[in-house]
Amino acid sequence: MNRAADALAPARRSGILSTWFALHLGTAVSALGRVARQPFASLMTILVIAVTLALPAALHLVIKNAQAISGNWANALDFSVYLKKEVSEKDARQLASIIDQRADVEQVTFISADEALAEFRERSGFGAALDQLTSNPLPHTLVVRPGASSTAQSMILLNEELSNLPETEFVQTDTDWVRRFHAILDILERATFIGAALLGVAILVIIGNTIRLDIQNRREEIEVTKLIGASNAFVRRPFLYTGLWYGLGGGLMALALVGYGLYALEQPVARLSGLYNSAFSVLSLDLRESLLIVGAGVLLGLVGSWIAATRHMRRIEPR
Partner 1 sequence: MIRIEDVTKRYPTGQAALKNLSLTVEKGEMVFVTGHSGAGKSTLLRLIALIERPTSGQVIVDGQNTRRVSRRKIPAYRRQIGMVFQDHRLLYDRPVFDNVALPLVIAGIAQREAARRVRAALDQVSLLHKEKQLPETLSSGEQQRVGIARAIVSRPKLLIADEPTGNLDPDLSLEVMRIFRRFNEVGVTVLIASHDIALIDQLGCRRIPLVDGSLQTDEDDDVVAEYVEQLESERARSEWP
> Rule CB under 8 A: which of 185-224 touch partner 1?
220-221, 223-224
Shortest gap between Cβ of 25 and partner 1 (angstroms)?
A: 11
List 172's β-bridge partners, or say none.
80
What is the rounded CA–CA span in Å between residue 48 and residue 109? Answer: 55
Per rule CB under 8 A, is residue 23 in the interface with partner 1? yes
Rounded Cα distance, 204 and 269, in Å? 36
Between 257 and 309, name the residue whose CB sits nearer to partner 1: 309
Q: Binding to partner 1 (CB under 8 A): which residues in 90-109?
A: none
> What H or E segment, with its residue span, contains residue 212?
helix 175-217
- Of the pair 38, 278, the CB lying nearest partner 1 is at 38
Min dist CB 46 to partner 1, Å, is: 22
What single-letter amino acid sits at 312?
H
CA–CA dist 63, 69 (Å, integer): 10
Identify which of residues 79 and 306 has a Cβ nearer to partner 1 in the complex: 306
**In angstroms, what is the minimal distance from the CB of 268 to partner 1?**
51
To partner 1, the closest distance from the beta carbon of 266 in angstroms equals 47
16 binds partner 1 (CB under 8 A): yes
Backbone angles phi and psi of 87, in degrees to 5: -75, 125
Minimum CB separation from partner 1 for residue 57, in Å? 37
Does 33 help bind partner 1 (rule: CB under 8 A)?
A: no
The count of residues interacting with partner 1 (CB under 8 A) is 23
Give me the half-sphere count of Cα atoms (radius 13 Å) on the Cβ side of residue 194. 6
From residue 299 to residue 318, the character string flagging contacts with partner 1 as x (rule: CB under 8 A) and all else as - is ------------------xx
- Rounded CA-CA distance 48/145 in Å is 49
Q: Does 19 bind partner 1 (CB under 8 A)?
A: yes
Binding flag, residue 38, partner 1 (CB under 8 A):
no
Dist. CA 31–CA 242, nearest whole Å: 5
Residues 6+ apart with CB under 8 A from 278: 72
Q: Which is nearer to partner 1, 22 or 184 (CB)?
A: 22
Annotate each residue in 224-243 with x if it binds partner 1 (CB under 8 A) or - if it does not, as one string: xxxxxxxxx-x---------
Q: Which of 219, 209, 221 is closest to 305 using CA atoms?
A: 209
The radius of gyration of the chain's CA atoms, rounded to the nearest angstrom, is 33
d(CA 170, CA 161): 11
**To the nearest whole angstrom, how small is the minimum distance from the Cβ of residue 219 to partner 1?**
12
Among 18, 88, 149, 278, binds partner 1 (CB under 8 A): 18
CB-nearer residue toward partner 1: 59 or 230: 230
Classify residue 79 as left (phi > 0), alpha (psi -120 to 50) or beta.
Answer: beta
Interface residue list for partner 1 (CB under 8 A): 15-16, 18-20, 22-23, 220-221, 223-232, 234, 317-319
